[in-house]
Structure 1
Amino acid sequence: GDQVLIKVKAAGICGSDVECYEGKSAEGRFDLGPYTMGHEWSGQIVKTGELVKNLKVGDKVTSDCVLGCGYCFNCQNGRMPSACLNMREVGFRPDSPGGMGEYMLLEHQYVHKFPDGWSYEEGALIEPVSIGYFAAWGNNGFVDPSENVVIFGAGSIGLSALIVAKAAHARVILIEPLANRQAMARKFGADYIINPVTQDPVEEVMKITDGVGGNLVIEASGNDKAIDMTFYVSAHSARIRLTGHSVGRKVAVELGKTIWKTLLITGAGGIKDFTPRTIIMMDRLRKEVNFTDMITHRYPFEKIHEAFDEAINDKPGAVKVIMSME
């Protein structure tokens, strides 16, 4: 009745997919198998239920990753889908098969159309771009043109946050040790790039900002040292957004800095209502920004094992691995 059947056309491999594959999770979300992975995907609708009014056969679509039921206490109170008491996650559990298969079957409210002129690769980037977008703007976040933005990590999430911050004309300082990711950050408009292996990020950030620090600090690497450093590179009253996954690890926090700088620290895991917004944002920027530049490796779906080998064994080189089913 309310579902759509979608022929999958492209699927990206996320760091979370690699962790699923390797069995590295303290959340207990990856050991429920067997299930079909893939939450960064796009496809074309081939059939719709009789209750579906907003989508039609032939539409190019993607979906939300975290699915709220809509009727539990948290959903009824407008909380994020990740707060849903009956939460499902596309590509992470047996009850929500992902996009690394030939077809997807989903309720229509979770499915979002993107423009016909887009490639399916662009469609498969909507989900990771939405995470970087949400890191800057979600949960009452914002980016001001007068601000200094510091981003740790130039993977697909950090690069997406960079694109959004530059669209707001903020000054962006990106901290990344790997040469190929530094090159990508330059391509996407980073004003300054700091190598934390050869430079002192705190010293460099303070030099660039005349001792003020970052007004918005986005941690998108999941590195323990980077998480610790966010408290030192931040300005007074800065907004710190933690989005890099660091599951099962504990990080010491410099409480003095947090208290006396009156820092606002927010977890930015997942998104709320940001898939349609991300599609609009990407469509408006795509004349100036080639989002597919963050794709480093492409494979046909039949070579899924080679694609995962690349994502697992060449983590420095593989920024975004995409599989095509066309």
Structure 2
Amino acid sequence: MNRTMKAVVKQDRARGAVLKEVPVPTCGAQEVLIKVKATSICGTDVHIYEWDEWSASRVKPPYVFGHEFSGEVVETGSLVKSVKVGDQVSAETHIVCGRCPQCMSGNAHICEKTEIIGVDRDGCFAEYVVLPEENIWQNEKSLPWDEASIQEPMGNAVHTVLAGETAGRTAAIIGCGPIGLMACAVAKAAGAAEVFAIDLNPYRLELAQSQGADYIVNPLENDPVQYIREKTGGRGVDIVCEMSGHPVAMNQGFKMATNGGRISILSLPVRPVEIDITNDIVFKGLTVQGITGRKMFQTWQQTAGLLRSDKMDAASIITHRFPLEDFEKGFDLMLDGKCGKVVLHP
């Protein structure tokens, strides 16, 4: 094997990234080396690429970023037992300690010592990536590489939508980026009675409709709270999945939720958000959930099951594909909002 590889590197503490040759990562005794077949761009990657306030406070260039992928195992460490060369895999990208109270009580997805590949350590925008054996997810050989690469973000959507009862409920998905689009599809697959998709981007609203949204709402054309109340007989929706991170949209989410409903928040607002806790949470008896990552590995099992079913068309969420060398085209599309999921091929 050539001991260097192509990789997209966050080189400097500034906007952008570079394609360069870097060493192939070394496989430790309890680790697995994977040849990346497909890797997709996440909103977190866009934050890092743009070098916003959050990324400037979190990541430490230079390093390889990217954290969503599928690939083939090409080397295993001497102590690895459950994975073998030739396996087709993806990976849980949160590397956890296994010993904190959260890990030891079955809540490893909120481990207090979590490291994320492509954020806190080298990631998968490269020809090869190395990960601990315990993070490996075995894919069925029939699952295409591109679709396998989006299981990690799809898991975010699954975790958010299925964080409470969904079947027969009304749901609003606020923010129709790639994970919001997946949330529309997951909600319908899980039996939601009606799904409202809310976004300012007409392109993505059309995609949301193709993913099963019953109603699409552009706040520039209709007040989302008033529109949803009209469509629900004045009650509001049972479930709000907040994917936008925008303070105005988040406030609207609390106001459109029905009494006794739930709000599941996956988004990461870049500044504090002011919420009317008295009237919009306490008096309404809302359940408010912060959603991070995926339950390890319950959410992966649910995601794989949805991909096996005929209730979701994951391929339709992928709108663009580029060779790794053209990564900038993918980021430009993400920044313009004129795409669903963008997949890169090393």
The 1:74–1:55 alpha-carbon spacing in structure 2 relative to 1, beyond 3 Å, is: same
- Please state if 1:101 is matched with 2:126: yes
Counterpart in the other structure of 1:6: 34
* 4+ aligned runs moved over 3 Å, structure 1: 25-31
Code of the aligned partner of 1:113 = Q
Give TM-score scaled by structure 2 length.
Answer: 0.86
Out of 25, 46, 49, which is 1:18 matched to? 46
Partner of 2:305: 281
CA distance in 2: counterparts of 1:278 and 1:29, whole angstroms? 33
For residue 192 of structure 1, report the CA deviation from its aligned partner. Answer: 1.2
Q: 2:144 aligns with which of 115, 119, 136?
A: 119
Paired letter, 1:156: P
Quick one: distance in 2 between partners of 1:122 and 1:21?
23
Please give the alpha-carbon distance, in whole angstroms, between the structure 1 residues aligned to 2:283 and 2:197: 25
Partner secondary structure for residue 84 of structure 1: coil
Task: Give the Cα separation in 1 of the matches to 2:34 and 2:147.
Answer: 17
Is residue 207 of structure 2 the alignment partner of residue 184 of structure 1? yes
User: 1:218-244, CA deviations, whole angstroms, 9 ceiling, x for partnerless residues?
Assistant: 111112111010111100011001112
CA deviation vs aligned residue, 1:19-56 (integer Å, no higher than 9, x gap): 11221133765431221111111111111223322222
Q: CA deviation at 1:106?
A: 1.1
AA paired with 1:183? E
Q: Which residue of 2 aligns with 1:319?
A: 340
Q: Which amino acid aligns with 1:192?
A: Y
What's the offset of the Cα at 1:115? 1.0
Aligned to 2:181: 159
Structure 2 residue 269 is matched with structure 1 residue 246 = yes
Residue correspondences, number: 315
Distance in 2 separating the partners of 1:212 and 1:254: 19
Q: What CA distance in whole angstroms lies between the structure 2 residues aligned with 1:310 and 1:177?
A: 16
Give the root-mean-square deviation of aligned CA atoms: 1.8
List runs of 5+ in structure 2 lacking aligned partners: 1-28
Q: Which piece of structure 1 moves more, 19-28 or 157-166?
A: 19-28
Unpaired segments ≥5 residues, structure 1:
none
- Please tell me the residue identity of whatever aligns with 1:263: L
Is residue 181 of structure 2 the alignment partner of residue 196 of structure 1?
A: no
2:161 to 136, 144, 161: 136
TM-fit CA distance, 1:81: 3.2
Distance 1:172 1:309 in 2: 29
| One-letter amino acid matched to 1:180 | Y
- Tell me the TM-score normalised to structure 1 length: 0.91
Q: Does 1:88 align with 2:148?
A: no
Contact 1:150 1:172 (8 Å CA) reproduced: yes
Q: Which residue of 1 aligns with 2:325?
A: 302
SS for the counterpart of 1:133 is helix
Name the CA distance, whole Å, in 1 between partners of 2:55 and 2:43.
Answer: 15
